[in-house]
Each structure stands twice: as C-alpha cells, then as structure tokens.
Amino acid sequence: MKIPSSILTMLVGIGVTLISLWYGQNHGLLPVAASDEAADIDGLFNTMMTISTGLFLIVQGALITAAIKYRRRPGDNTDGPPWHDNLPLEILWTSLPAIIILGIGVYSFEIYNAMGGLDPMGSHDRGTMQSHANMKGSAIAAALSDIPQNNSQKPPEKLLALGIGASPQNEEKAADLVVNVMGLQYAWIFTYPESGVTSGELHLPEGREVQLNISAQDVLHAFWLPEFRLKQDAIPGRPSELRFTPNKAGEYRIVCAELCGAYHGAMKGLAIVQSPEVFNSWLQEQQVASTQNLEETVAVNPDKLSDGEFLAPYTRDLGVNSKNLNQLHPTHQSK
C-alpha cells in the first residue's frame, strides 16, 4: 500500500522533531554545570542544538533521498527533467533561517541582560576602578584621562566596565565575596582584599554571590571557567568583572582561552568551591599563615640584631669556628 505523500511528510516531520528534541537535551557535550548562571547558558545551547539537529536531518535527508530516488539508472542516457524556479520554496528557505537567527539573537540577548551583561559595574565609579588597577603587585596603569589632575576637578564620572556584572535584580546589592584576579605570563593570582589573603588557587563559598575583578599585568589573557559557563578577557589597563554564584562544591578548571605566549597551554588554575564553613576555615588558615610568616620576618630584622648575631648564620655556612680563628692569631704564627 502506497502512503500518501502528505501523511508521509507529516510522519517524517514528527520523527525529525522528536529526534531533535531528544538530542537537544541529551547531547552530553557540556561539562557539569556548577553555577546558577550555567542553567541559562545551557538552555540557550540546548535550544541551538535542537534547531541544528533538525536542520541537519532535514538537509541531509533531502540530499540522501534525492541521490537515491533520482540516481541514474543503468542504460539511461536521457537528460533529466527540466527544473523551473520555485518562488515559494525560495522564500521559505530564505525566510526560515532568518527567523531562526533572529529568534536566537533575541533569546541570547535576554539571557545576557538577565546575567548583568548589559551594564556591568555601572554603579562603580572611576575611583573604585583606579584603586583596583593600582593594587599591590600590579603593573597596570590607568589611562591618563582617568587620573584626577587636581583636587578642584568635578567628581569622577561612572565608568562602564567590561564583563558580566550584577543582574538587574541585584544591581543595588553588593556581592558576598570580592576577589581580585591578576593574569600574568603564565599564572593566575587571586587576592581577597577584605582579608589580605593571596593565593594561587581560587577558593569560593558555595551558594554565595562572587565578584571577580579581573585584570592583566602584561598581555591579553582570557579567564575561562568552563563549568561555570563564564569567560572574560583580562586586558592590561582595563579591568573587567565577572559576577556569579557557584552552586556545586568541587574542583573546577581555570583556563586561559587567549593565546598569550609560548607557554599559553600551561596557564591553568584551579577553582575550588567549598561549603561556607570550609571556606571560612580555609580563609582563617591563610590569614594565620600570613601572620606567622610576617612575624618570622620581623624576628630576624637586621636593625634589631648585634653584629655577632647578624653574622652568625654566615660564619656557620663558611665553616668559621674558634679553632680556625686561633690558627690565624699572631702568637700562633710566631710559634
């Protein structure tokens, strides 16, 4: 029994739709999601995968069907049937992709806006940015136009920064934790300004909103957290921001996604998301360790040592002792 073409087309459409919807949600191409913002990004990605799968099946299915149905038969040397323009078909395959692209663009724009990407750090003034740019250990210099020349100048204007700032509902709310991120060839340095802790690992409390102030010391870098679905350039002289909420404890990769030199591939780091209790404990341990190191340094301050105390470590290293000194004494030489 021959199935009517209309019914066959409907069945094929249903099959393509079901396959696309299933694969769009079960492609397994993304790593684990570890932030609140990742769900929105994953939703956009899954939508694009669903549409792409459907278009792939339709286009490849049409090509394979045409190659089989209209193939040249043995002994058939006649010309193929003439083909005339089909205006409705051309309108369809032109307008449909345009509508899809426009829809994805609007969808992605809304997600970017909901994450705080339209006006990141809009409430931060240039003084705040300048203090971050000149933080200890940084080689960043702000633009001359951003530096007040005298005290009579009018109050600094607000500076629109790069990156993902506070979401619209949290614009007036400060982040629970602020971390300064410095990129340099070939490492990431993390400073917690409220506690004075500096670390080579990024420790974050689970379920707390975090603000990363990102800058670069030498060349352009890109701070990428794949599991958080966030990436932001680190630009010399131009601080940027990422604001997000980690929601899954664990260890996650930090990757430089911008070619920054010969050892770019080795510029990696570790983001460790911990419960708030464990994070506070780690922070206190780092503060204690920093204080102990400082006390040890002060204890051997040469300004407070006598000449003998200052030279004692060097004499031991050189093997100088009383026996050797007696051999150099003048009375010993006369004997």
Query: Measured between alpha carbons, how far is 121 from 216 in angstroms, rounded to an integer?
Result: 18
**pLDDT for residue 6:** 83
Strand partners, 146: none
Q: Are residues 220 and 280 in the same domain?
A: yes
**Alpha-carbon 81 to chain mean position:** 57
Res. 71 pLDDT band, cuts 50 70 90: confident
**Domain match, 191 and 162 both:** yes
Average pLDDT over residues 96-118: 89
Alpha-carbon gap, residue 25 to 31, rounded angstroms: 13
- Residue 258 falls inside a structural domain: yes
Residues 161-183 have a mean pLDDT of 84
**Does residue 315 fall inside a structural domain?**
no
Looking at the structure, tell me whether residues 242 and 98 fall in a common domain. no
Note whether residue 195 is domain-resident.
yes
Mean pLDDT over 9-29 rounds to 93
The stretch 50-64 carries a mean pLDDT of 94
At residue 139 the predicted structure's pLDDT band, cuts being 50, 70 and 90, is very low
* 43 and 185 housed in the same domain: no
Please give the Cα distance from 314 to 226 (Å, whole number): 51
Answer yes or no: do 163 and 222 share one domain. yes
For the chain, give the percent of residues with pLDDT over 70.
73
Domain annotation covers residue 327: no
pLDDT of residue 2: 76
Would you call the peptide bond into 112 cis, given omega within 30 degrees of 0 as the criterion? no
- Give 191-201 pLDDT, tens digit per residue: 999 888 899 99
Q: How many CB atoms lie within 10 A of CB 326?
A: 10
Residue 136 contacts residue 215 (beta carbons within 8 Å): no
Residue numbers of the domain that contains 38: 7-68+93-114
The structure tokens 């909420």 sit at 245
Residue spans of alpha helices (H) in 122-190: 126-133
Tokens of 95: 């307008």
- Cβ atoms of 287 and 197 within 8 Å: the answer is yes
Residue-level pLDDT at 251: 94
| Token code pair at residue 183 | 């990129």
pLDDT: is 126 or 113 the higher one? 113
Residue 222 lies inside a defined structural domain of this protein: yes
Kindly state whether residues 100 and 175 are assigned to the same domain: no
Same domain, 289 and 208: yes
Please report the pLDDT score of residue 310 as a whole number: 60
- If one compares 260 and 172, the residue with the highest pLDDT of the two is 260
Higher pLDDT, 143 or 43: 43
Q: Where residue 24 falls among pLDDT bands split at 50, 70, 90?
A: very high
Q: How far is CA 93 from CA 53, 63, 154, 211, in A?
A: 16, 15, 57, 45
The per-residue pLDDT for 9 is 85
Q: Report if residue 24 sits inside a domain.
A: yes
Residue 216 CB coordination number (10 Å):
27
Both 187 and 214 in one domain: the answer is yes
Q: Is residue 239 part of a domain?
A: yes
Residues 108 and 208 in one domain: no
Q: What is the mean pLDDT of residues 153-175?
A: 69
- Answer yes or no: do 104 and 216 share one domain: no
- Please check the confidence at residue 299 and state whether its pLDDT lies above 60: no
Contact between 96 and 54 (Cβ < 8 Å): no
> Can you give the CATH number for the domain in which 219 is found?
2.60.40.420
Q: Which residue has the higher pLDDT, 79 or 231?
A: 231
Let me know whether 131 and 258 are in one domain: yes
Q: Is 265 contained in some domain?
A: yes
Please state the domain count of the chain.
Answer: 2
Highest mean pLDDT among 42-56, 67-81, 143-157, 158-172: 42-56
Handedness of CA 13, 14, 15, 19 (dihedral sign): positive
Same domain as 273, residue 133: yes
More confident residue, 289 or 231: 231
Mean model confidence pLDDT for the chain: 80
Mean pLDDT computed over 46-50: 95
pLDDT at 131: 42
